[in-house]
């Protein structure tokens, strides 16, 4: 029988994506054996996350500064905005190091089934950003899922009439593919071959 503390930690860890109760328990044991090293390090990292992370008021990225490092970087092209569903997608694209513009995180995708409406996402903020001027291109980098593509088409429609080029990742993306799971080469290829949205 494990102590209440161990049980609590194992339960908390088992809720993490990719971890079940069994691997959570193994992680706890692993940490207990490394109380002075790995556990201290993990505690420090978790505390830093809790205390310092903020959401960027411009793009929705998560960082320790607001605006985030990407929005604040003068070397990044403010005229090009890449729209993604989630922060994980932003990180995946940025790891590929091919896109030199800025980002806009929607915070999800439109879904009739789950009742996610445009105003539940940061779509109005995106339209405002583009209306504010100084943007030449909006790259829609939604996942190649039905909901991702519905979201992309909706945004393209909303941007119609604004003086901006709307492009979309090339369909080198596997159908149903989620950006975060793609290797960097595939992502880079999809970005390089991006095409105008009709």
Kindly state whether residue 122 participates in binding Zn ion, applying the rule CB under 5 A. Answer: no
Q: Which of 9, 10, 25, 58 lies at the binding interface for Zn ion (CB under 5 A)? A: 58
Q: Which stretch binds Zn ion (CB under 5 A): 66-74, 91-99, 112-120, 127-135?
A: 66-74
Gyration radius of the chain over CA positions:
20
Spatial distance between the Cα atoms of 133 and 55, rounded to a whole number of angstroms: 23
Give the shortest CB-178-to-Zn ion separation in angstroms. 22
**Which residue, 68 or 179, has its beta carbon nearer to Zn ion?**
68
Spatial distance between the Cα atoms of 43 and 36, rounded to a whole number of angstroms: 11
Give the shortest CB-100-to-Zn ion separation in angstroms. 15
Q: What is the DSSP annotation of 136-174? A: -EEEE---SSHHHHHHHHHHHHHHTTSS-EEEE--TTSP
Q: Which stretch binds Zn ion (CB under 5 A): 58-66, 74-82, 145-153, 154-162?
A: 58-66
Q: Which stretch binds Zn ion (CB under 5 A): 33-41, 57-65, 110-118, 190-198?
A: 57-65
Chain centre to alpha carbon of residue 48: 20
Q: Peptide bond before 67: cis, by omega within 30 degrees of 0?
A: yes
Binding residues vs Zn ion (CB under 5 A): 56, 58-59, 61, 67-68, 71
């Amino acid at each position: 029988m494990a102590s209440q503390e161990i049980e609590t930690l194992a339960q908390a860890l088992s809720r993490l994506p990719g971890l079940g109760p069994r691997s959570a328990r193994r992680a706890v044991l692993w940490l207990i054996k490394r109380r002075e090293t790995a556990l201290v390090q993990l505690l420090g990292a978790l505390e830093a996350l809790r205390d310092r992370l903020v959401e960027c008021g411009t793009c929705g990225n998560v960082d320790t500064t607001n605006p985030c490092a990407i929005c604040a970087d003068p070397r990044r092209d403010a005229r090009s905005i890449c729209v993604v569903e989630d922060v994980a997608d932003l990180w995946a694209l940025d790891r590929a190091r091919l896109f030199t513009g800025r980002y806009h995180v929607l915070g999800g995708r439109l879904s009739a089934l789950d009742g996610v409406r445009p105003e539940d996402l940061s779509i109005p903020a995106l339209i405002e950003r583009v209306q504010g001027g100084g943007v030449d291109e909006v790259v829609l980098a939604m996942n190649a899922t039905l909901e991702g593509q519905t979201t992309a088409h909706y945004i393209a429609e909303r941007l119609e009439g604004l003086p901006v080029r709307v492009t979309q990742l090339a369909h080198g993306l596997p159908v149903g593919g989620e950006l975060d799971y793609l290797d960097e080469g595939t992502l880079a290829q999809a970005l390089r071959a991006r095409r105008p949205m009709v």
